[in-house]
Chains A and B, each alone.
Chain A
């Protein structure tokens, strides 16, 4: 641990000067926000688990009828890859590889995010087709409360990447832009973490015999 670690997670480093030191309170504050968001997801998970049973399904379709594990596995791979590419963007920024390199990795992450959302929406359409709609039962209400909540987060992340690409073009790599990309990175990896829980608990857990 060096003294230039001003906050948990990836730091910009001394050679970023003002941006590095200015990031201390801002990025720390974002960690606190993420903890708060984690509580939200934790509670929605807990609510899901209390109704993930025959009573909660109220005679409606169960996970076996509605989940397509292959598609979900592909989504998982896409999302994990996007976290990797976002990591490359953060590293490119930390090592001063220039705006083009950062923008390239951000754009790849954005495309992967959009790809994930597209597949997810296709899955949702399939669920609606088989009658696994939130109005059907408490179980499906909880599912539609949890998984799309993650989806909305990913969509916000995509919007945020778009805004950052615009700001990089308009404002250049000023300190404010750098700390925003740092925070966006935390957000993006956080969504990955949540997805791992969704994949394990909702999809794998739901399809377990």
Chain B
């Protein structure tokens, strides 16, 4: 009877229960993490109740279909998960620092840590953060009112949150997979891991992955169909070009992951033999499917960050981007090549030398368009009026560190070297070296760059600089030593080691991890300080950095309908051009009614049902799985019977708001670049022309 009701969920599934039974350090840390999740969850609920925020939260955020609010919620989710991911990373570095012949964590616990750390950082930090920035920025840059499919956008967010929730729940109930973020069978098959661990991985990935596929469709269609009049493809900001490449990757690369994970689920739940050792199963099929997703995935992550740097660097150099067309070609080339290299993830698994050579060359070829981009960014800085604001500090750190990461990537693309350093910390150093400076620095630069647009006030500059410098130093101390360790043969994913020579280097890496933790703390303090000082940091007029694209031509935060009148785009970098020509901030001839989509609860219904379904599947509670799926299906079909799903904002209301803002802009003094990080900056930038003809290029 209890089996029917609760499946395989019982008292021993609670990690707290284990800690009470056997209070070893490993169990106590696990129990502490579980308590943090429980107390954190209840803490949030209590605060929401105490400040009576449930109503506003529901009305303004959870049921909103506004791409800007959805984008902010994605970023908030990513930052919360980033905190967990960083803490796990620090814990792993601590374990290895003490790991000579032992350490304080069991190998089992350590394996769970690197599995959740990888899964979280890729799927629930980098991807939601990117989806958040794209959601917020892209429609503003192309002059659209919203995404092409606003309700589907909300559902995508709901499914991403579902995946994140399942990973968080795994701290409290049962345990996570020990199979790494790639979760290779047959090790993750039912024979070797009968517990719920790999099932958590499967369902969090599948549900979040479906959300991401839908996001990709949404982004692509939005760019193809919703551009403002005159916004030709070759007038789009580079960031939008990177978004279209990323969304193409989302549409084509996420399905392999879904297929691989569902086949693994069939193996585990229904005794299929897709990837088993026996009866004709073939685990190489999994590896091919997974990396057919996994390799484009890393470009999915980094390409939009290239786009962010391509917005930040010209803006803070006071120049247009150097080599626009070559940037576009380079981005497209990288997106295409990203599908041609997946096999370099298993050079050592027994295919012929010719195949290895072909994929090795394809992998190295990616360095060419990436190099083109790097030179273009450098050329953009050349003779520009460069201001070392926080996003630029991240950009400079990116230049140095990402090039090192890229070069070690070219080394690894050589199958011979790949054999030599296979499964060592060299690889760990390499992919952190591209993902942290490439993706995370890019996202943090974008966070500082567009935060004033989203909230109407700037982030505190001093704390931001401290955080950026700590990130750069912390990254360097943590991961550059791992190259040396890897070359000396220290295996990855190993809780302990036996060579005393490694120990001082491990301590160095731990020191770096402490710096990263300090960087994260600085970011948190910065947010707190900035919110407290928001009146001094306010930039409501909308253009604090002398921006170049359309998103800076509207108030901060923008109204729900983005543009009072859809812009007529005449040039690349249209807003910068308009400022130069003096055609900005003119009152339009006429205002029109704007039709906007209504709020809806469907995304939250999907999120709650999908979370329950995932949990039910992990613990074999079949009735709940069927029930929650049925509720979700009925809700989705039921919604299609609603005829009226939009409301109209009257022209008079839009005109009043727009005229008031225009009046404030006209009245405000224009601020020079020297003062852009000072209180005097209220968001009306003075146009400063470059002084030399070379710089005008």
Contact = CB atoms under 8 A, between A and B. Distances in A.
Interface stretch (B112-120, B255-263, B476-484): B255-263
B292 interface: yes
Contacts of A57: 280
A170 B641 CA distance: 8
Contacts of A51: 280, 282, 285
B252 A35 contact: yes
A39 B293 CA distance: 11
A25 B223 CA distance: 10
A138 B640 contact: no
Interface string B244-273: 000000011011101100010011001111
B643 interface: yes
B220 interface: yes
A24 interface: yes
B138 interface: no
A135 interface: yes
B641 A167 contact: yes
Contact of A58 (B252, B279, B641): B279
A134 B292 contact: no
B253 to A, nearest CB: 8
Given A145-B266, A180-B640, A138 B225 contact: no
A66 to B, nearest CB: 15
Interface string A17-31: 000000011101100
A8 to B, nearest CB: 12
Contacts of A55: 280
A159 to B, nearest CB: 8
Nearest to A176: B643
Contacts of A137: 273, 279-280
A84 B281 CA distance: 39
Given A138-B281, A144-B272, A29 B148 contact: yes
A50 interface: yes
A153 interface: no
Most chain B CB neighbours (cut-off 10 Å) among A40, A138, A142: A138
B225 A24 contact: yes
A55 B284 CA distance: 14
A199 to B, nearest CB: 21
A40 B278 CA distance: 25
Contacts of A157: none
Nearest to A163: B637
A50 B283 CA distance: 11
Contacts of B279: 58, 60, 136-138
A15 to B, nearest CB: 22
B225 A25 contact: yes
Given A32-B220, A56-B280, A167-B641, A43 B213 contact: no
Interface residues of A, number: 40
Interface string B300-337: 00000000000000000000000000000000000000
Most chain A CB neighbours (cut-off 10 Å) among B273, B276, B280: B280
A44 B259 contact: yes
Contact of B221 (A32, A36, A60): A32
A139 interface: yes
A174 interface: yes
Interface string A110-147: 00000000000000000000000011111111101100
A137 B278 CA distance: 8
Interface string A165-176: 001001100101
Given A25-B226, A32-B220, A47-B289, A138 B263 contact: no
Given A145-B263, A163-B637, A176-B643, A138 B258 contact: no
A43 B255 contact: yes
A24 B587 CA distance: 31
B58 interface: no
Interface in A46-95: 47, 50-51, 55-58, 60
Nearest to A166: B641
B256 A43 contact: yes
A138 B217 contact: no
Given A36-B252, A163-B640, A56 B282 contact: yes
A134 B224 contact: no
Contacts of B216: 36
Nearest to A29: B221
Most chain A CB neighbours (cut-off 10 Å) among B213, B220, B259: B259
Contacts of B129: none
A26 B226 CA distance: 11
Interface in B610-655: 637, 640-641, 643
A202 to B, nearest CB: 16
A71 to B, nearest CB: 24
B643 A138 contact: no
Contact of B643 (A29, A32, A163, A171): A171
A23 to B, nearest CB: 11
A145 B221 contact: no
A135 B272 CA distance: 5
A149 to B, nearest CB: 9
A174 B251 contact: no
Nearest to A37: B255
Interface in A174-196: 174, 176, 180
A85 to B, nearest CB: 23
Contacts of B252: 35-36, 39
A53 B280 CA distance: 9
A58 B270 CA distance: 18
Nearest to B280: A138
Nearest to B289: A43
Contact of A32 (B217, B226, B273, B274): B217
B95 to A, nearest CB: 37
B149 interface: yes
A42 to B, nearest CB: 9
A25 B280 contact: no
Contacts of B254: 36
Nearest to A137: B280
A138 B282 contact: yes
Interface in B202-257: 213, 216-218, 220-221, 224-226, 251-252, 254-256
A60 B280 CA distance: 10
A28 B280 contact: no
Contact of A134 (B149, B259, B272): B272
Most chain B CB neighbours (cut-off 10 Å) among A29, A141, A145, A163: A141
A139 B259 contact: no
Contacts of A37: 255
30 contacts: A25-B225, A26-B149, A29-B218, A32-B220, A33-B217, A35-B252, A36-B213, A39-B252, A39-B256, A43-B256, A43-B292, A44-B259, A47-B285, A50-B285, A51-B285, A56-B282, A58-B273, A134-B266, A134-B270, A134-B272, A137-B280, A138-B273, A138-B280, A138-B282, A140-B273, A141-B267, A141-B272, A141-B273, A141-B280, A167-B641
Given A138-B279, A174-B643, 7 more contacts: A44-B259, A47-B263, A47-B289, A56-B280, A135-B270, A145-B266, A167-B640
